[in-house]
């Protein structure tokens, strides 16, 4: 499953303002709710925060992939956010998180969201790709980099 059909440029936030995990999740939830009227910011945030209570989705090397299932969501949706300073996401390596891919799936959805999680994880293990996202000058450049990298596989 490709990223292209799940991520739109308006859901690429190149300069997240949040200073902690909750604020970052709220900022991304807000962006999604403005694009998808079927779900509210609070519904998205609550699903994400509940998932985080089970265990942090912060990975290694400044990466997090928060994900959740949300009732009323019509299809899988992906958002991306970059924090220039980085935030504490309770990552495995305790490093600040700077790159956040947020994945939402409808309640009762099939295993497609698991395929996307695996794809994102593979993509983000590539140091060159991570550095490209960190160095990008704006949302357009980030969006283009993600789609170009996704096309390789």
pLDDT digits (tens, 9 = 90+) for 46-65: 999 999 999 999 999 999 99
* Contact in structure between 51 and 57 (CB atoms under 8 Å): yes
Residue 67 annotated in active site? yes
pLDDT digits (tens, 9 = 90+) for 5-38: 999 999 999 999 999 999 999 999 999 999 999 9
Is 109 a residue whose pLDDT tops 90? no
Q: What is the pTM of this model?
A: 0.95
DSSP H helices, 1-153, are 21-35, 41-54, 112-124, 127-135, 139-151
Q: Which residues are within 8 A (CB) of 75 and not within 5 positions of it... i.e. 6 or more apart?
A: 106
Within 10 angstroms of residue 56's Cβ, the number of other Cβ atoms is 17
Note the pLDDT of residue 153: 74
DSSP E strands, 3-114: 7-13, 63-64, 67-70, 77-87, 97-106
Candidate list 14, 67, 82, 98, residue with the active-site label: 67
CATH of domain 7-151: 3.40.930.10
Mean pLDDT, residues 97-121: 93
């Amino acid at each position: 499953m490709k990223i292209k059909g799940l991520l739109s440029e308006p859901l690429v936030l190149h300069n997240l303002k949040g200073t902690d995990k909750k604020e970052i999740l709220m900022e991304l939830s807000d962006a999604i709710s403005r694009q998808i009227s079927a779900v509210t910011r609070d519904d998205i945030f609550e699903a994400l925060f509940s998932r985080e209570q089970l265990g942090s989705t912060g990975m290694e090397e400044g990466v997090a992939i928060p994900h959740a299932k949300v009732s009323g969501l019509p299809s899988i949706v992906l958002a991306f956010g970059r924090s220039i300073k980085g935030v504490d996401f309770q990552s495995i390596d305790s490093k600040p998180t700077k790159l956040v891919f947020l994945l939402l799936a409808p309640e009762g959805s099939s295993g497609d969201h698991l395929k996307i999680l695996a794809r994102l994880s593979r993509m983000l293990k590539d140091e060159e790709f991570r550095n490209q996202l960190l160095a990008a000058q704006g949302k357009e450049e980030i969006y283009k980099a993600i789609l170009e990298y996704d096309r390789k596989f």
